[in-house]
Each structure stands twice: as C-alpha cells, then as structure tokens.
Structure 1
C-alpha cells in the first residue's frame, strides 16, 4: 500500500447543505454538484474521492483525492470511463498542474485478498484523504464527495457524501477518477514488462478473452486476485 501527494493552493468556505447534492431527474452532467453550490451562493472546500480497478482480475486498486480551484479552468473533466486514453493522459497532466491539492493511494493484491475488493477500495480512498490532510490539516473540515453509494472509512467528524454516478456529476470526483485510472494504467503497463505473457499493457488486468486465455495457458501470477473467479470454469493454480 502506498500514497503520494501533490499541492498547489487551497481555499476555505462555510459548509453547504447536503440537500444540494440530490440527483435531478435529468441526465447527470459533470459539474452539476459544484454548480448547485454556486447557485446557492455557498463557498465550500470540496475533496473528490474515487478509485480505479475494482473490476479487474489482476493488479491493484488505485484511489485518488482531489481539491480543485474555484473557478476551475480544466475543461473536459468527466467520468474517466467515458474518455479515451489519450484524453485521460492530457487531463491527468492538467490536473497534476492545476489542482489545489491531490493525492493518490494504492491497495495491492495482498490487501485486496485479505479484506476484499470493496473494503480495499474504500481503504485506499481513506489513505488518499489522509495524505491530503497530512499535507494541510485544515482540509479535515472540507466536505468529501465519494463516488458510489458507500461512505469512506474516515473519522466520524469528517463530513462526507456518497454520490452514485458521482464521477459524472462532480468535477472533483471526475478529476479523482482520472488520476486514479491513469495511475493504475501506468502501473499495469509496467507490470507487463515483468509478466509479458499476460498482456497487461493491453487489457490492464480486466477479463478480456486474451487475458483469460493467458491464465489458462500459464496459470495465475502473483498479480492475480485469487479471491476472484479468474476463469468461467474456475481454473486455478498457485501464483508464480
């Protein structure tokens, strides 16, 4: 497990009403959460939390926490799954350069196997949040927006709000999703050099036909999540 942080500048503001975060009947659009705060005349320091890598058969789960400046000049922020790899890389560079604060944390395969993928994902998000607060303790008062329907395991005094489709509704969560996704993809490309027979650079550990064929031929390696059903026929073998 690990975490890295970056810092540029921050802002403060009074708390916002959580009613502002109720989903509307119309399709979500990235930035609607921040727009609701602005239209209500509230200034709020926000931290977006998201992860990448819950679904793959192999590799770590990566989480990110992001504080964006207000106003944010980064155009094109959206759920990382909706963006091409090239667009994600471009936005990643801008987020790293322009975010007020950011942190990235990793839960490795051993942790995933020990506490399961959901809890490992939440633990990684909590580590990313703690990394931010270690750099700037005043961020402990920020409102945390968590992608999904689960609260992160943060101290009880921390204000947080889970948001279903949060990465499509909040620029802060979208930025976190991009940092997490690009970081994880880079890790999987690096792992491909160690285990070229599995094609991790191509599928990033997800359950593609090529990946499952490689597991059938070579068996699982140490990056595979043995608690997952690696093959439809539930094949196995000891990790190499």
Structure 2
C-alpha cells in the first residue's frame, strides 16, 4: 500500500505516545536501516529522542539524515533547526548557531528559528540587538504564540527595559497561562519594577506548574529572598507616596 510507510512511522510515534521509548526507537530505527534516506522516519526518530532529552543520539540521527541528502533544499530547514536545538542543549554553541543560520538561509524569516536563535543569543548575553530584531520579527509573524511573545519579553528584560518586559510577559501569560517558564519570567520582571508582591505570586505559580527539575531550586530561592539589585519595594514606594516622595 502507498500508505504503508506513513502507517509504519505512525506506529513508532504511537509507541512513543505510550511512553514505550525503546519500542519506538527500535521500530523507527528498523525503517531507517531499511532505507537510510527515509527522512520522515529520521525526523520522527530524532524528535522522539530529542523530546526525551537524548540530545546526543538525536543529533547523530539528524546528522545521518542530512548526510543522505544529495542537494540541500528549502524543505530541509527543519533538520538543521532540530539539530541546532540538540547542539544548543549539548553546549555546542558555535555549531548550533551555524545550524540555525543555515535553517534561516533555507527558509528566510522562519518564526520558529528566529525565536529559538534569538532567545538563545539573549540567554547567553550575545548579539542582543540582532536577537531583539529576530524576536520582534518572529512576534510580527506569530503574534498569538505565547512562547515567542515570552522571548520578546525576556530580551527586553536582559536589555534592562523592565517596563517593556512586563508588558510583553503579561501578554505572554494571557496566551500561555500554565507555562512555568513564562510565569517565572514575569515574576522576575515584576520584581525589577518594584512590584514585589506580584513577583512572588508569579514565582509561586511557576513553582506549582511543574517546572524543570533544575529550575525549581532557583524559583524557591527567589520566593524566599527575591532578586538582588532591585528597585524600591512595594512598601517603600507606598511610603514615599504617602510622604509626597
């Protein structure tokens, strides 16, 4: 049947949906062994491994897939994008950035790539002006994507534009209210503009939304002690207002 290939790939993805990762890997791996140029199976297996944080294996799969392509075209941007994510998570930044820029070369103004590359640059404190341009373009292309709007808020935060950060992060929360990272980011921005009660509310909310294991201690520390180098507290601002300050 002409649908056999798609059905076999879906079987592998269904194993993954059932949290049967070994079966998913074996099934998709067998399809790739039978036809190493089967890019749909390669992308599917790479994505299964990547979503389970098996970044080294996923990077290897994407690389093998790219090696089978005689001439890279626009439709292959996804492979570079996914491999770039793996390399970024493996702290291979130079090769990761090269993959993201190759993906943009193949698919100009791709909002997913603009967002991920821009956010990664911001997170490392690199090329912030370029990162801001990238993320603003991504938001323009996908104005209702909460994750991309969060990225814009976070670049404003890293640039010290805290009021602008609050505006964008509040908008991101409206779009993705249950995301722990966005709630955490909004808490940071609130704290930087002196809205400390609201900051702790957001951090508490982030704590309760099942954040990544390595992020939880950082959130708990902020709930207990706040951030350093901050504006006046809510109470101090209220006191200044009462005293005509």
Normalising by structure 2, report the TM-score.
0.29
Q: Looking at both structures, which has the greater relative contact order when contacts are Cα pairs under 8 Å and sequence separation is at least 6?
A: 1
Structure number having the greater strand percentage: 1
Structure number having the greater helix percentage: 2
Normalising by structure 1, report the TM-score.
0.29
> Quick check: which has more Rg, 1 or 2?
2
